[in-house]
Amino acid sequence: MKTLAIASLLLMTATSHAATPTPPDVEKRAHEVRAPHGAVRQDEYYWLRDDSREDKAMLAYLEAENAYVDQVMAPLKPVEDALYDEFVARIKQDDASVPFRDNGWWYYSRYETGKDYPVHARRKDGAGVGAAEIMRLNEAGDFATEQVLLDVNAMAEGKEYFSVGVYETSPDNRILAWADDSVGRRQYTIRFRNLETGEVYPEAITGLSADMVWADDNRTLFYVENDPETLLTVRVKKHVLGTPVADDVVVYEEEDDSFYMGLSRTRDDRFICIGVESTVSSELRCTPAANPGDFTVLAPRERDVEYDADHYDGRWVILTNAPDADGHKAPNYRLVTAPTTATSRGEWTNWIAHRDDVLLEGFELFDGFTALAERSNALERIRLLKADGEEYVAADEPAYSMGLSVNAEPDTEWLRYGYTSMTTPGTTYELNVATGERRLLKQQPVIGYDPSKYATERTWATARDGTRIPVSLVYRKGFAKDGTAPLLQYAYGSYGMSMDPGYSLTTTSLLDRGMVYAIAHIRGGQEMGRTWYDDGKLRNKINTFTDFIDVTDHLVAEGWAAKDRVAAYGGSAGGLLMGAIANMAPEKYRLILSQVPFVDVVTTMLDRSIPLTTNEYDEWGNPERKADYDYMVTYSPYDNLEAKAYPAMFIGTGLWDSQVQYWEPAKYVARLRDLNTSGVPVLFRTNMDAGHGGKSGRFRRYRELAEMYAFMLDQLGVGAGDAPAD
């Protein structure tokens, strides 16, 4: 059995002048992981788990891995710096968001040149004040009439990590409540400030999710408290300003640990609602915002019945997959209405029927129309329902992303929506639904970028079971589809999350160097409707992995890439995808990029104390049940590593990650090193000051990405000679 003292490990990885850096090694310690049904697995690197993040041997190993990355990447530092400089050069540093009007004020966020964090601000509505005028003032640097809500740069000063998760002003616009996190584990603290006097109140409520709602009295705030061990949302409390936090009253406690919880106010501001949802079920309970009391259930939860609701114009409008009165199922969802007093599904009336070929994803209610967010044929669209009929918002490209933007107030004829594609930077439009007039409010400024030099396409790959998989592609014009190009293929494929094609200023640097970028819309997402998701989870999870591999085969066969110049990229659950394809088809990938990867599926899902575990039994399965265990262990990346040649890898994690704990990729890399016969580099970078989303601040993440992309370019043979095109 291989062992190595930590002191020797550090000494070995600190030898910076070695011709070929030697990767770290770490000791094995015998450990058995037992399932309730008796199955036993050996986990020799289990000891790397330390919930306190204080074990010296563990920390030394992570630091040794970081030192190894530094050594390997040292010759590539000029490429990394060039990429970083390109990324940052495209950013308009003194940029600001499109203002939106809410309750007599215009809200927006802006950045200042050279600073990492936003300034959240507002301006009072009045004569001559509107979105266009405020954008003009912000562009001119005229902030005389601005009220700063939060200067996050000042708040983050001296901190390695800082994030504001949410902020809300009281209904009378006088009190600001915000939730901040200075560690990266998404465990927030709520604080308060008087916007008229500047006084910061003494109350600080800790251990929370980034979720809050004010009551109409401007003194009562409802918030969601997390379990300190599992970090799950477990109870809703209310705090009254000026009273001890210890006296805060629990208004609802969720006893089923497979449910998440959140708070909202309805469109008409009449109700405060607590929403709870699991993978396959949901429930909404609401109370009057003017006089909060008992929370009344809109419809009791039922397994395999999901719904979300909003209240406006004297009725509930509900998006649901519940079967209709005749028993017809609605996996792609339908819209129903219900009276304000409704407390059961029996009071629901069908409004927008279910369709097999269209996924209904959301809606927004206005005085004279309703906007529906739909998905058809793997593309998003917006359908407008008006008194005189219906119409669709137009799109001009074959592969794009379109969705509802911030529409804070319902008494308007103008609908705001966002549009982007792999060649078109993020754009905000507003459309007058009565006249058809469309206004361009803002397009993400990208300095030096010319969209006419790039092209996007949609292709379809045939999976091994005959299913057609949509793929979105982007490349620089002049690209020859002759089977010689390097390609980066990205996918996610879990939780029903659709990966829609959008512009990326960092991807542009790859395209300028002759690369092709592809998004594989594999099963496990929801691009092709709810069945697309169902066909890529639980006992169908294998489809997610084989779809990705089959897309790769298609792109190579069609000449989009050379078979030995394909890189794959995924993160979180997409990191599970990366681990699976590395085991199943390592020869098809020259390189795999994997960020915060979920690679130890069975051990994690056997441990109820780990955040997210119990919420996700209906996503992955519950390995306490032998049948689920037997299926999950067939694809869990950590459990399926074996002695063979793996591709080069760059794997990243955050020490404080609460979604995928750092020890999963740490164990994976340690075991991979034992078994890998290829001799190509496997790099493992741990961000010691961040969590699931990486470092905070808008520039730091570009440094991390530049390092990873520099490694990729080197492995794919895209060298210094392949400078960006003119």
DSSP notation for 197-215: T-PEEEEEEEEEEEEEEE-
The two three-digit tokens of residue 639, written as one number: 């459990």
Phi/psi class of residue 84: alpha, beta or left (left: φ > 0; alpha: ψ in -120 to 50)?
alpha
Helix axes 573-584, 542-557, angle to 10 degrees: 70
Quick one: three-class SS letters along 55-92?
CHHHHHHHHHHHHHHHHHHHHHHHHHHHHHHHHHHCEC
* The Cα angle at residue 681 between residues 676 and 682, in degrees rounded to 5: 70
Please state, in angstroms and rounded to a whole number, the distance separating the CA atoms of residues 671 and 47: 13
Q: β-strands 591-595, 566-571: how paired?
A: parallel
The two three-digit tokens of residue 44, written as one number: 């020799």
107-146 CB burial, b ≥16 within 10 A, e <16: bbbbbbeebbbbbbbbbeeeeebebeebbebbeeeeeeeb
Closest CA to 372 of 339, 333, 408, 413: 333
Kind and range of the H or E element at 468? Answer: strand 468-476
Q: CA quadruple 507, 508, 513, 519: dihedral positive or negative?
A: positive
Give catalytic residues, as residue numbers.
572, 657, 692
Please state, in angstroms and rounded to a whole number, the distance separating the CA atoms of residues 148 and 143: 9
The residues pairing with 594 across neighbouring beta strands, listed in sequence order, are 570, 651
Helix/strand/coil for 624: coil
Please state, in angstroms and rounded to a whole number, the distance separating the CA atoms of residues 490 and 506: 14
Please state, in angstroms and rounded to a whole number, the distance separating the CA atoms of residues 528 and 539: 19
Any idea what DSSP says for residue 358? B
Nearest 5°: phi and psi at 13?
A: -80, -10
Q: β-strands 682-687, 648-654: how paired?
A: parallel
